[in-house]
Amino acid sequence: MNVIAFHVQHDAGVAVARDGVLELALELERLFEVRYFASARDDDTFREQWRKALDSVVQATGLSRFDVAVTSWVMPSQRRILAELVSAERWVTVDHHRAHALHGVHDAPYRRALVVSFDGGGNDGTFNVYRYREPTLTHVRRVSLNLGTPYRLLATTMAEVTGGRAQPRAGHLSLAGKVMAYAALGSAREAWLAALVEYYQHYQEPLQALYTLGERLGLELEPDALSAADARDLAASSQRAFEILLQQVILEQIADDDEGLVLTGGCALNVSANERIRHSIGVPVHVPPAPNDAGIAVGALWSVAPPSAPPDVFVGLPFAHDVGEEELRRRGAVRVELDAVAALLRRGAVVGIAHGRAELGPRALGHRSLLALPRSVEVKDRINARIKSREWYRPLAPAVAAWRAGDFLPDPSPSPYMSFAAPVHPETARQFPAAVHLDGTARVQTVARGTLLGRLLTLLEAQGEPPIVLNTSFNTKGRPLIQRASMALEALDETDLDFAWLEGLLVPRDHATLQRFSVEGPS
Ligand SMILES: [Fe+2]
């Protein structure tokens, strides 16, 4: 049976399963190179965008006819346009949070689990609880709690988070991750928590919510109006209130026979909250690779039939070689194996790698990654300021060999998709300061041997290096993960990146960089 599923709102995507095997999860932001891409509202542009997306689906899967097509939260006129473009026997719909929950449970290793899906809003609310008893997912409760929109809304009052840029009414989606990192600079104020809890429980719309909270706290909650000291403490207090509320619901719902907890929905990108939950509920926690709306189309597929095998995560588009090898060789490119990349990292290079099909979800997991060894704080500052043009307080995450995770972390539980802000050993913080956030945690990725990154960590180990590497997304400011060779060249030309390794072809920033790292030039 061939199934296709669509998500058209922000983080739009389309996914295809053939006989229960996930064949493709295409995030439209990668195709159109606009982060958080949302389909156009006018019919003509919508039709053109989806025509292009569906061309890519046919190219990647060879499928153009489907037994079932699934939509989630699509307006009737848009559904009619999709039905014009796609040949399917049957059209069905699935609720937004059910799709989040299905992506979560079918990625998790549990047969019995509590599932919490929470975000800034779907057609079915902002916070839903489910119980999974293989093979059935049952809705338990819809909670009146919005931990999504109000969380990022507060960031609109913090100049160090907005960077002084004008914001849409409830703040840009990117503010959520920034304010989470920023919270590490402040301390939660006990006196503020009750008002913040009320703010999250009764949130309706931005202006009313900010006015009421501001009155309670004695703060002027207007764009960029807070002092740095108040802003930092408000971010930390908001994070604390978020965690208290989440923990309360989970403790009320978790059952003795739940093997695990699945956290999904965009709010499950809050790695600090995930970590707190993981250490307070007594069962393992799993977060899928795309808890945000990038995972909606995949979850929607499983509403028709569950996957026949655990879904792969490298199910995006193949890397596009839109620049000829000859041209790359003219600028110094040479063909090298992965061991040469390991050697360059050991000599202090920052290397962007692109390999095979793209990973699903917002975290680079090794197929579209910027890598460096985390030995000095300088490398972190260099990547933040001169390669990614982002705020100094943003952390960089370490990828560590799963089989050696205990060397770096007191709790070496799996974290394959960078879902938890885990404490590190004091020795790890001393040796690898670039991998540790200001609050002493690391958003770690535990890497299995079979993957490209696993092979790289094995090579580092063989070269006498601890198997740990900084892994951040290979993109430039405001852009999605790179998808084609010409984007890698832009990164080399416009930033401080030393090399790009594109499926075996090592491209230097310039000839001087080649010589500086003593890589053998083209013959
Ligand atoms: Fe969502």
Pick the CATH number of 325-516 from 3.40.190.100, 3.90.870.20, 3.40.50.1820, 1.10.1060.10: 3.90.870.20
What dotted CATH number matches 108-287?
3.30.420.40
Q: How far is the CA of 126 from the centre of ligand 1 (A)?
A: 8
- For β-strands 13-18 and 21-27, DSSP reports them as antiparallel
Q: How far is the CA of 123 from the centre of ligand 1 (A)?
A: 9
Per CATH, the homologous superfamily of domain 2-95 is: ATPase, nucleotide binding domain (3.30.420.40)
pTM: 0.96
* Integer Cα distance of 452 and 245 in angstroms: 39
Strand partners, 137: 132
- For β-strands 136-142 and 87-93, DSSP reports them as unpaired
Q: How far is the CA of 121 from the centre of ligand 1 (A)?
A: 6
pLDDT value, residue 520: 66
Q: How far is the CA of 89 from the centre of ligand 1 (A)?
A: 27
Q: Do domains 108-287 and 325-516 have the same CATH topology?
A: no
pLDDT value, residue 479: 86
* Integer Cα distance of 334 and 87 in angstroms: 45
Q: How far is the CA of 9 from the centre of ligand 1 (A)?
A: 10
Continuous H helices in 202-262: 206-217, 228-253
Q: How far is the CA of 462 from the centre of ligand 1 (A)?
A: 42
Q: How far is the CA of 64 from the centre of ligand 1 (A)?
A: 28
Q: With left for phi above 0 and alpha for psi between -120 and 50, is residue 170 left, alpha or beta?
A: alpha
At CA 170, angle to CA 383 and CA 100, rounded to 5?
A: 75
Q: Which residues contact 259 (CB under 8 A, 6 or more apart)?
A: 110, 111, 112, 113, 283, 284
Check whether the bond before 135 is cis (ω within 30° of 0). yes
List residues, by chain if needed, whose CB lies under 5 Å from ion ligand 1.
119, 293
Annotated domain spans of the chain: 2-95, 108-287, 325-516
Q: How far is the CA of 435 from the centre of ligand 1 (A)?
A: 29
Output the tens digit of pLDDT for each of the chain's 523 residues: 999 999 999 999 999 999 999 999 999 999 999 999 999 999 999 999 999 999 999 999 999 999 999 999 999 999 999 999 999 999 999 999 999 999 999 999 999 999 999 999 999 999 999 999 999 999 999 999 999 999 999 999 999 999 999 999 999 999 999 999 999 999 999 999 999 999 999 999 999 999 999 999 999 999 999 999 999 999 999 999 999 999 999 999 999 999 999 999 999 999 999 999 999 999 999 999 999 999 999 999 999 999 999 999 999 999 999 999 999 999 999 999 999 999 999 999 999 999 999 999 999 999 999 999 999 999 999 999 999 888 889 989 999 999 999 999 999 999 999 999 999 999 999 999 999 998 999 999 999 999 999 999 999 999 999 999 999 999 977 789 999 999 999 999 999 999 999 999 999 999 999 889 987 654 4
